[in-house]
Amino acid sequence: MAVNQEPQVFLYISELLGRKIVDSEGRPVGKILDLTGNIGEIYPPVTEILLRSTDGKIVLFPWRLLAEVDGKLMVHPLQPGDFRAPVLRPGELLLKDTLLDKQVVDTDGAKIRRVNDLQFLKSNKILYLVHVDVGFHGLLRRVGLERPINFLFRLLFDYTMTDQLISWKFVQPVSSPDLLRLTVAQNRLAQLHPADLADIIEELDIHQRAAVFRSLDVETAAETLEETDPKIQVSLIEDLDMANASDIIEEMSLSEATDLLGDLPKDKAEGILKEMEKDVAKDVKELLAHPEEKAGGLMTTSFLSFAPERTAGEAMETIRREAEELDLIYYLYVVDSEEHLLGVLSLRELIVAASEKALSELMDTRIVAANIEEHKDHIAGDFAKYGMLAMPVVDDDNHLMGVILFKNLLEVVLPKLGR
């Protein structure tokens, strides 16, 4: 036997706000001011209605007791205990107050959006938040101009406006730190590419920016920081305490971390360095000693170097063990016992080589290197000329001091590549 089910109906919060609720006798109970729900869920169910009762009190009332009869919103039977004071339970939020006219991140399109309306799906007497409306159509619906403007557009332009809806599963609110803490377990921002996330953070105001950044896990925060404008990097780190700042900076590439610490106020940088692991802090201090416009200020010391007698197999084992902690793995450098640079080979060349082959037989001795005092403009020219992904840095005696990554010189290289 077929079971009768309530048809699924889409509703907008703009259609519910301000509507009157009556009891089974048709007597007015109050007017809807807002709806509550836990937005940490994939599709949050509405739990209660914020109501202004007929005697002027603001109360909360369970959504499950509401029914629509002949176009009217009705509650029956109605008991005094059904109403309670407007105090939200843990995890509960007012949806209109929290989301309407607020900025959210569309994590599917990696853009900041403004919420003009909320769309709900009513199924089996439960109301689920399923979409946010970010379009002009949603704004017209809220101000009561949807029908006349639609009619005008069809008449004049033969055009019918449509809703711009984003599924709630792709929405990440950014309106307050409290809100972000509630949803951090399912933080959708962490699913974005760090470059997209950096663009989004740069679009937000200073308070939202800080709130979003604090909501990220350490690894995601570090990756995003590397993609962010240097001035914004500084403001984000200055907003954190020393311990949290050091945790994030330790996850960054050594060269990026050095650049950031070099831009921070001296007392903040020193405080962070004290919190960092000693070996990492030591490497950073060494790099900070070099001017930013010279090779020494552009390089990282987080790379791989091997003695010439080491075999390809041994080198591969080292890479597997240490790659996660390194800034550079696509080139390997061969040095003697005194760290003189003898040769270079790519990871590709290493992979295809026989495991027993010595690196001295595989390395290329035609090395393009930068002197540690060389200016970044000259280095950029060599990057553009030779098409390298990284360039070794040596001192006057050909000791290998570090490596410059292409991405760390990109702003200087791009104009030269366009010649």
Q: Please give the Cα distance from 327 to 167 (Å, whole number).
A: 37
* Partners of 173 in beta bridges: 104
Give the CATH number for residue 54.
2.30.30.240
Arithmetic mean of pLDDT over the chain:
83
Kindly report, residue by residue over 248-294, the tens digit of the pLDDT: 999 888 888 888 898 899 899 999 999 998 888 888 888 888 888 88
> How confident is residue 154, by pLDDT bands cut at 50, 70 and 90?
low
- Does residue 398 sit in the same domain as residue 328? yes
Question: Is pLDDT above 50 for 180?
Answer: no
Bridging pattern class, strands 126-133 and 165-167? antiparallel
**What local confidence, expressed as pLDDT, does residue 370 receive?**
93
Residues 312 and 280 in one domain: no
Which SS3 state, helix, strand or coil, does residue 279 take? helix
- Indicate the number of domains in the chain: 4
Whether residue 2 lies inside any domain: the answer is: no
CA torsion sign for 130, 132, 136, 138 is positive
Write out the H or E segment, with its range, that includes residue 31: strand 28-37
Cα Rg of the chain, angstroms? 30
Of 22-31, 202-211, 262-271, 353-362, highest mean pLDDT: 353-362
Categorize the per-residue pLDDT at 411 as very low, low, confident or very high, splitting at 50, 70 and 90: low
258 assigned to some structural domain: yes
Please report whether residue 178 resides in a domain: no
Q: Which of 289, 313, 329 is the last residue of a domain?
A: 289
Mean predicted confidence (pLDDT) in 37-47: 84
Same domain, 75 and 117: no
Amino acid 360: pLDDT: 94
Instruction: Place 183 in a pLDDT band, splitting at 50, 70 and 90.
Output: very low
* pLDDT the model gives residue 155: 63
Is residue 3 included in any domain, yes or no?
no
| pLDDT tens readout for residues 46-101 | 999 999 988 889 999 899 888 887 778 888 777 777 888 988 888 788 999 988 88
Whole-number Cα distances in Å, 325 to 299, 303, 322: 16, 9, 6
41 and 71 in a common domain: yes
For residue 265, give its domain range. 192-289
Q: Render 124-185 in DSSP notation, one character per residue.
A: TTEEEEEEEE-SHHHHHHHHT-HHHHHHHHHHHH-------EEEGGGEEE-S-HHHHHHHGG
Q: Of 122, 303, 110, nearest to 188 (Cα)?
A: 110
Does residue 300 have a pLDDT over 60? yes
Q: Give the pair of three-digit tokens for residue 262.
A: 């070099």
Determine, yes or no, domain membership for 234: yes
Q: Are 168 and 78 part of one and the same domain?
A: no
Select from 94, 123, 138 the last residue of a domain.
94
Residue 143: the pLDDT is: 67
Tell me, yes or no, whether 381 lies in a domain: yes
Are 274 and 324 part of one and the same domain? no
Q: Are residues 53 and 79 in the same domain?
A: yes
26 and 88 assigned to the same domain: yes
Higher-confidence residue of 411 and 350: namely 350
Pair (282, 316) in one structural domain: no
Domain at 315, CATH number: 3.10.580.10
Tell me: do 330 and 403 sit in the same domain: yes
- How many other CB atoms are found less than 10 A from the CB of residue 199? 18
Residues 253 and 332 in one domain: no
Cβ neighbours for 297, distance < 8 A, ≥ 6 positions apart: 258, 287, 290, 291
User: Is 294 inside any structural domain?
Assistant: no
d(CA 15, CA 119): 10
Mean pLDDT along residues 351-375:
93
Final residue of a structural domain among 28, 62, 94: 94
- Is the same domain home to 340 and 390? yes
Task: Supply 358's token pair.
Answer: 């010595």
- Beta-strand (E) ranges in 38-137? 46-53, 58-62, 66-69, 72-75, 93-94, 103-106, 111-114, 117-123, 126-133
Question: CB of 356 within 8 A of CB of 313?
Answer: yes
CA pair distance 236, 323, nearest whole angstrom: 28
* Res 335 pLDDT > 70: yes
Pairwise CA distance, residues 22 & 100, whole Å: 26
In a domain, 283, yes or no: yes
* Predicted model pTM: 0.63
For the segment 114-119, the average pLDDT, to the nearest whole number, is 91
Q: Which positions ≥6 away from 144 have C-beta within 8 Å?
A: none
